[in-house]
Amino acid sequence: MPAAEEQPAHEYRVLASETVFDGPIISLHRDTVAMPGGDQSVRDLVRHPGAVAVVAVDDEGRVVLLRQYRHPVGRYLWELPAGLRDADGEPPLATAKRELAEEAQLAAGRWSLLTTHYSSPGFCDEMVLVYLAEDLSPVDRPEGFTVEHEELDLTVERVPLTDAVQRVFDGDIRNAAAVVGLLAAAQARAVQPPLRPVDAS
């Protein structure tokens, strides 16, 4: 008999699927899934288009942070420039460049892919690509972009990356993409590990 690690993985087949809600950004599905041992179980899951986030670091080692109100948690959060991958056919790096220009009015001369992560895989398939943007320069917002809703109340600050990392440990920065991105950027700048190609997914 083969060792446990050599046994083929169980195939978690979807036996049935029901769309519970289909909105402009997310959809909610109820799947019946084949489980090990012959059982089946119902799983509710949120389908999400994915997102990008940008750790924008200037020549003085300061990172761009945004303070924005988030209705689901009922509070302002410190975040990175970020946005949904909801533009049809737009590559994620192009989305990151657009979001940096829209939210922080910045462009970057050098881009690196820091991390890709699932923000909450227990119930949602959202994947976030986090980029490091360096060699920053000011730009106008993209033509046709309108500042509205929560963005009218947006605060943009630059703080030393080391201070931003400490704010993660202090509990002041709680947005998942910001936590991941700031810690990854600090590590990348400290030890310069090999990073994946900027167009990787």
Q: Which residues are catalytic?
A: 151
In angstroms, the CA 117 to CA 190 distance is: 21
Q: Which of 63, 62, 56 is nearest to 139 (CA)?
A: 56
User: Would you call 109 exposed, middle or buried from its count of C-beta atoms within 10 A (0-12, 13-18, 19+)?
Assistant: exposed
Residue 168, beta-bridge partner list: none
In sequence order, the 6+-apart residues with CB closer than 8 A to the CB of 144 are: none
Facing residues of 33 across strands?
A: 14, 41
Quickly tell me which residue has 């809703």 as its tokens: 149
Q: Give me the residue label for tokens 């761009």.
A: 64
Q: What is the DSSP letter of 10?
A: P
